Amino acid sequence: MSKHKLLIISFSNLKSDPRVKRQINYFKDFYDITTVGLADSEIENVTHIDVFSPFNKVNFIIPLPKLLLGMFESYYWNLEEIKLTLEKTIGKQFDVIIANDADALPVALKIKGNAKVIFDAHEYSPEENNDSLRWRILFKKYKTNLIQKYANKADFMLTVCDGIAKKYNSEFGLNPMVLTNAADYFENTNSMTVGDKIKIMHHGLALPQRKIENMIEMMDFVDERFELDLMLVFRKEEYKKELEQLIGTKKNVRLIPPVSTDEIVPFISQYDMGIYLLEPNNFNNKHALPNKFFEFIQGRLAIAIGPSPEMSKIVTDYDLGLVSKDF
């Protein structure tokens, strides 16, 4: 008997997108999976449709007036990744489609046919980068429109935490189910004994709004037992140079090369503590419950965080570490 067909759409690098990779790995034994994204997950027995196109500054800027004029539909359907998705899925039939993030939802509904559509919103897209004035001017109304017009047309909706689920309900009357970014289970193979040095780990995407520099500066206020390793992925070279310069002034901080997403938990399990101080400078940061938090747990690390409500509730309820009074 042939398997049902599942299409997973995510306009991200599927090789380094932990949440989407978990979707693929969970369903691959039950469905014939096709993915649409900007890079192949490289998971066996999965068909990939690539919709990556190199960034072109002119092509990015020219359509922006449409956003200012409220021409949201014209802007969306002329995005290169949307046109490629439509072009490369013509004639294909699916039983289920998972649309990851608001950008994937309209095109998923367009090609659904008789398929059921699951909308995994991940975070709260109408305030995705609300700390940026440019984003608020150009994209806030556009992202809000995507949710207003399309979210209630999905057959089922998911998001990553309670605070975001409540926000979707209060603002749009939606009722998403919470599916956290919980990492796969790993057996504990490392010693739980702390040595003379207390090794601290922070890993993940280094964005300026996450203020990684706060954790670096923090190391001026700890004693000689503590050492911090930063395993970061950068999108902006200037931010990398800024952090490298700051790290160069510290004897107890290192920047180390990143490992693949599949290797994160085994690698970080050699550390004693995981740290994440994330200022609540936008709604999603305030309610962050990220992959790295659950990777800390699977690595059996003590966890040190700021008073972020979603993370601090779990740390407190399960006695996983400590929560600072402020950021």
CA–CA distance, 94 with 163 (Å, rounded to integer) = 32
Locate tokens 């400078």: which residue? 281
8 Å CB contact between 183 and 211 = no
Q: What are the boundaries of each domain within the chain? A: 4-178, 198-323
Mean pLDDT confidence for 41-46: 96
Model confidence at 196, pLDDT cuts 50, 70, 90, reads: confident
For residue 236, give the DSSP letter: -
Mean pLDDT confidence for 213-240: 96
Model confidence at 200, pLDDT cuts 50, 70, 90, reads: very high
Mean pLDDT confidence for 275-281: 96
Looking at residue 191, what is its pLDDT? 66
CA 321, 162, 137, 205 torsion: positive or negative? positive
Q: Same CATH fold, 198-323 and 4-178?
A: yes
Give strand ranges (E) for the chain. Answer: 4-9, 31-37, 47-50, 96-100, 116-120, 156-159, 177-178, 198-206, 226-234, 253-256, 273-276, 302-305, 321-323
Length of the chain equals: 327
Mean pLDDT confidence for 81-85: 98
CA 278, 181, 291, 7 torsion: positive or negative? negative
CA 19, 22, 28, 30 torsion: positive or negative? negative
Locate tokens 């993915």: which residue? 35
CATH superfamily of the domain spanning 4-178: Glycogen Phosphorylase B; (3.40.50.2000)
For residue 300, give the DSSP letter: T
Task: Kindly report the CATH number that applies to the domain delimited by 198-323.
Answer: 3.40.50.2000
Tell me which residue of 32, 189, 27, 64 sits closest to 138, measured CA to CA. 64
Average pLDDT over the chain reads 96
Tell me which residue of 226, 223, 228, 225 sits closest to 213, measured CA to CA. 228
